[in-house]
Amino acid sequence: MRLFLAEDDEILADALKAGLSRKGFEVEHCADGAEAERLLINREYAAAILDIGLPSVDGLTVLRRVRMLKPTVPILLLTALDGLDNRVAGLDAGADDYLTKPFEFIELEARLRAILRRSHLLPPSAQQLGPLKLDRAAQRAWCDNVPLDLSARELAVLDVLISQRDRVVTKEQIATEFGSGASEVGANAVEVYVHRLRKKLEPYQVGIRTVRGLGYLLEVEHGED
């Protein structure tokens, strides 16, 4: 999956390219606003990460111009400006999401994954692990074909855990999946939702293992022979 990165901070750009490449993305990078505009309009990308503070043409201008011709390409906006007016301006210009510097790579990855999922560019809505099935589009889950009674946030927790089934998922990643209310969700609240989900999965030998100091891992539990 090919991503576009427009960032003029060379150190940050190199770090993002390396991190995204490790996650399996192909990354094309440029450090100039005018070149970013030309590439975004003339080439196809699964998503774009666009810094506001680009030389020659600022990122907001690039975003507005690209949106006129490419209204559906997912775009994550990066900026050092964290005021409410700045965030509103970025979203009004057409950004799918907005991330302020400095940030942790895991948050950028989670937000990128979310906008790709909303644009249906990530793998199909149906996910399965052992007896557990999740239909993201229908917002429903089953174990052994028995429907699970899950709240919206329990579904969000399950979504990120099953999507990252082979990796430890942090509390911050889970909170990000809660969307616009993520800033109001603390670590303790995430623990509550994980605990509730764990109890509902336990009868089906699907577990959520706590990896101390790191996060959570979804796995199928195997009984002793």
Q: Which of 129, 127, 125 is nearest to 137 (CA)?
A: 125
pLDDT tens for 45-102 read 989 999 999 999 999 999 999 998 888 889 999 988 777 777 788 888 888 888 888 8
The per-residue b/e assignment along 92-109, b for 16 or more CB within 10 angstroms, e otherwise, is ebbbbbbbeeeeeeebbb
> In the prediction, which pLDDT does 175 show?
82
Find all residues with CB under 8 Å of 65, minimum gap 6, and list them.
37, 41
The token duo for 2 is 């090919």
pLDDT at 6 exceeding the cut of 70: yes
Enter the pTM of the model.
Answer: 0.55
> In the prediction, which pLDDT does 222 show?
63
Average pLDDT in the chain: 85
pLDDT at 125 exceeding the cut of 80: no
Q: Which of 141, 135, 169 is nearest to 154 (CA)?
A: 141
Q: To which H or E segment does residue 109 belong?
A: helix 105-118
Residue length of the chain = 225
The token duo for 188 is 């303790």
pLDDT band at residue 225 using 50, 70 and 90 as cut-offs = very low
> In the prediction, which pLDDT does 7 show?
96
Q: Which of 38, 23, 218, 190 is nearest to 105 (CA)?
A: 23
pLDDT at 17 exceeding the cut of 80: yes
Contact yes or no for 168/211 (Cβ under 8 A)? yes
Sorted by where each starts, the structural domains of the chain and their CATH numbers stand as 2-118 (3.40.50.2300), 126-220 (1.10.10.10)
Contact yes or no for 135/162 (Cβ under 8 A)? no
> In the prediction, which pLDDT does 183 show?
46
Find all residues with CB under 8 Å of 119, minimum gap 6, and list them.
47, 72, 74, 96
The per-residue b/e assignment along 142-160, b for 16 or more CB within 10 angstroms, e otherwise, is ebeeeebebeebbbbbbbb
95 vs 31: which has the higher pLDDT: 31
pLDDT at 126 exceeding the cut of 70: no
Amino acid at 120: H
For tokens 């590439």, name the residue: 39
> In the prediction, which pLDDT does 140 show?
86
pLDDT tens for 141-187 read 999 888 999 988 898 899 889 888 778 889 888 887 765 444 445 67
